[in-house]
Structures are given as structure tokens and as C-alpha cells.
Amino acid sequence: MRLLQRYILWELLRTFAFLLGAITVLLVFVGVFQEMSESGLGPADALKLLPFIVPSLLPFTIPATLLLTVTVVYGRMAGDKEITAAKAAGINLLALLWPSFLLGAVLSIASLFLSDQVIPWAVTNIRRAVAQSVENIFLDMLRTRHVVNSKERGLSITVMGVDGRTLILPTFQYAPHGHEAVTVQAEEGVLEFDLQNQQVMLHLVHGNIDSPGRAKIAFDRADRSFPMPHKIRPRKSRHLSIREIRDQENGLTTNLDRSRNRRDIETALAIPLGEFDRLTSSDASQYAKERDQYKTNLAKLLTEVHNRFALSTSCLFFVLLGGPFAIVQGRRQFLTSFLLCFLPILLLYYPIVLLMINLSKTSVLPPWSVWTGNVLLLAVALSILRKVLRH
């Protein structure tokens, strides 16, 4: 029995590794092209992102690849009458399905680890690489042209030269929309890119500030900031680890408690003094807005945590469905069996999951409702498995 199970497990692993490699290679080019179009990177810079794009795609490719693997292996075994021979020898069908269940459980844990630890690490490195690329492009433009202009941001920087990241004799002009230009001149300046605030910090030494209608102001050191030339996508909740999500939840709760305490103090002071108009003041309305925003942000964070577990464990649910279904459809080609199994998942499971996610994020449904798709998969899988075990 163990020999037969090892044989099935080896077939699953070999097929899964081949299919995962092929599908990942195809999707990598899509991911690289998307990053190039969104961040304005060149081909050489985009290729540097491959080590980070590949692991970030795996949580999305593993479930579908595993379903295809199980369909191929058990569909071939059923078509070659190996399942029939095993049952004729008195072997329970569940013993033949155990290797796929084990693989599904292991890959569910691996997908959870990838989505919780590897994706945040990959996104952080992608953002750092994009920022470094933007910084290099910006410095190269100053080094070759000695000037950078951005009319849409009202920004102009002129330098005499560039030594590493140090600007020699920079002249900085910034004129936001609706405001007059401010000119800053200095002996030298150092650029620093701030990813968190999407800004470029310019640290200036020994210069002066010239504002319209005001006298020049001399300084020894001054810091000026302006928007980054290319906007880098901010981190979303799906790019955070569960620990970071919990920290954000605690931060939201702390801020709401402070706002509630401030409102309670205002109420306690207003009632004895008879100043009832303060109860409907801007502070009260501000607390109501903060409370609504707290509920919205908390629902998004909790939904992300449940969704991360639900999508990771979908590997196991896909195996529970795919193995028995492939045995039932054993006389068909494996691609036909895969399409017959995957199309309902594509047309029903994923739309249901997306609908539950949207409703959970807007607090219409509780966060645990994102498990609805997996529950439906389990119900269908158990009915098919029952049919296979009986016949």
C-alpha cells in the first residue's frame, strides 16, 4: 500500500513541478510588463525584479496548477484502469486519494506562508528597486542635462554638476498651482527619496531662499521636499503581513479611543455649563466621521486576514474536488476533465469569493463570509467523493 501511495505522490509531485514552472514562466512576463507600464521602468530594470515577482505570483498559480495536476494524474490512472484494478484488489479509494490530500494540505500551508511573509518581502524590495531606478534616472538626467523640469508639478532644478548623489551649486524653483515661485540656491545639496511619503528630500548647505515680496533669507542648512517624478504605488493591505495588519488594527483602535475620550471630556464639560451647542459642534461630527472610518478600515483589515487563510486553503478544497471528479470522468481526456472542473470554479467560485470580499470590506457582511466559496466547494466535493466511494 505504501509503495502504491509513494508512486501516486511521485506522479503528483513530478506533474505539479512541471506545470507550475510552465505556468509561472508565462505569468512572469505578464507581471514584468505590468510593472514596467505602471512604474515607467526600462527592460533592464524590470529584469532585476524577476526574483521578487516570481514568489509573489506563486500563491495565485499554485491552486489552479494543483487542480490541473490532480486531474491529470487521477484521470490517467482512471483511464488506464489502475483505479479499477486497485479497487478489485480490495484497496479503499481513500487510500489512493490520501497522497493528493497530503499534497493539498502542505501546499495550503506553503501558500499561506508565501502570502503572509514572502509577498510583503517581495513588494518591499520591488518598491525599493523602483525607487532606486527612479533615483538613478533623476540623477542621470541632472548629470547629463544639468536641468530637470516638471511643468505639471511646477518644479525646476538646475545644477552645475553631480558628484554621486551630491548636487553641486543647485538652483531649486518650486511653484505649486496658484502660488508664486520660490527659488532656493545653495552651494551643494544631497537627494534622498522618501518612499513612505512619495517625496524627494533635498538637503541643502549654505544658500539662500528668495520668495516673492520678501527679502532673501540666508541659511547654513535647509531641507526642501517635492513630489517624486514617478509615483510609486503605496502598500495595500494585501502587501502586509498578518502581524503588520494586527498592528494597524491596534493603531486604529487606539486612535478611536483617544477620539472617544476627547468627546466624552467635551460632553462632561458642556453639560454642567449648559453649553449644549458644543454637543453638536464640529468635534462631535468629527468623532462620528472617525468612527465610521474606523469601522471601514477595520473591516478591510479583518477581511484581508480571513481572505488570506481562505485563498491559501483553497488548495486543499481544489484537491478534494479535483481527484474524485477526475476519477468519475476517467474515460475522458484529462484536459476535458480539467475544463469541466475548472470552468464552474472560474465562473462561480471566484465571482462568489470576490463578491464576498467586497461585501465584507464594506461591512455589509462579516469578514468570515469570504469562506463561502470554500464551503460550497467542500459540499460539492463531498457529494462527488461519496458517489465515487459507493460506485
Residues in CB range of 240: below 8 A, 6 or more apart: 120, 248, 304
**pLDDT level of residue 319 (50, 70, 90 thresholds):** very high
Question: What are the tens digits of pLDDT across the range 133-160?
Answer: 777 777 777 788 888 776 666 677 888 8
Alpha helix locations (H) across 40-118? 43-47, 50-79, 82-88, 93-113
Mean pLDDT of 246-265: 78
CA distance linking residue 166 with residue 180, whole number of Å = 27
Q: Mind listing the pLDDT tens digit for each residue in 229-238?
A: 555 566 677 7
Of 57-66, 169-178, 294-303, which range is least confident? 169-178
Q: Which residues lie closer than 8 Å to 99 by C-beta, 6 or more apart?
A: 5, 8, 9, 12
Residue 110 corresponds to which cell in the numbers above? 506553503
The amino acid that residue 336 corresponds to is T
Q: pTM for the full model?
A: 0.73
Cross-strand partners of 192? 201
Parse the chain into domains and list their residue ranges: 2-134+298-390, 147-227
Residue 138's pLDDT is what? 73
Q: What is the pLDDT of residue 35?
A: 59
User: Could you give the dihedral angle defined by the CA atoms of residues 37, 42, 43 and 48, in that order, rounded to the nearest 10 degrees?
Assistant: -100
pLDDT at 31: 63
Q: How far apart are CA 387 and CA 390, in angstroms?
A: 5
DSSP 8-state assignment for residue 70: H
Which H or E element spans position 189? strand 182-194
Residue range 328-341: mean pLDDT, rounded:
75
pLDDT at position 204: 82
pLDDT beyond 60 at 191:
yes
- Residue 339, all three cell numbers: 475544463
Q: Could you tell me the pLDDT band of residue 165, with boundaries at 50, 70 and 90?
A: confident
pLDDT tens by residue, 39-50: 555 666 666 777
User: In angstroms, rounded to a whole number, what is the distance separating the alpha carbons of residues 357 and 310?
Assistant: 11
